[in-house]
């Protein structure tokens, strides 16, 4: 979700498309992806996966749905930008 919002904001400010942003960031992108993946595995390893985490709108199901929708939107953004050779925003 952060990647999609960050890339969209940078595109609006004239930062180029997603691929050029990732290329310019260099190894920082790989480190961020690795840390995010590791953080995603922690609840699974702690045995919390599938358990409700408390009251309010931030339930496990809501967060899974939001994350999946953000991943699909981010992938679609990359595909469209590569296809049309232009920024989406």
Residue 79's pLDDT band, with cuts at 50, 70 and 90, is: very high
pLDDT at 74 over 70: yes
Cβ proximity of 80 and 88 under 8 Å: yes
Q: Where are the beta strands (DSSP E) in the chain?
A: none
Cβ proximity of 21 and 15 under 8 Å: yes
pLDDT average, residue stretch 15-32:
86
Predicted local distance difference test score (pLDDT) of residue 51: 61
Is the whole-model pTM more than 0.75?
A: no
Domain ranges of the chain: 2-84
27-60: per-residue pLDDT in tens?
988 898 888 888 878 877 887 666 666 667 777 7
């Amino acid at each position: 979700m952060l990647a999609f919002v960050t890339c969209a904001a940078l595109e609006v400010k004239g930062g180029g498309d997603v691929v050029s942003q990732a290329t310019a960031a260099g190894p920082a992108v790989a480190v961020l992806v690795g840390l995010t993946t590791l953080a995603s595995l922690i609840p699974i390893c702690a045995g919390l996966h599938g358990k409700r985490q408390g009251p309010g709108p931030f339930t496990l199901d809501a967060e899974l749905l939001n994350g999946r929708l953000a991943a699909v939107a981010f992938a679609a953004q990359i595909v469209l930008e590569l296809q049309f050779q232009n920024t989406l925003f």
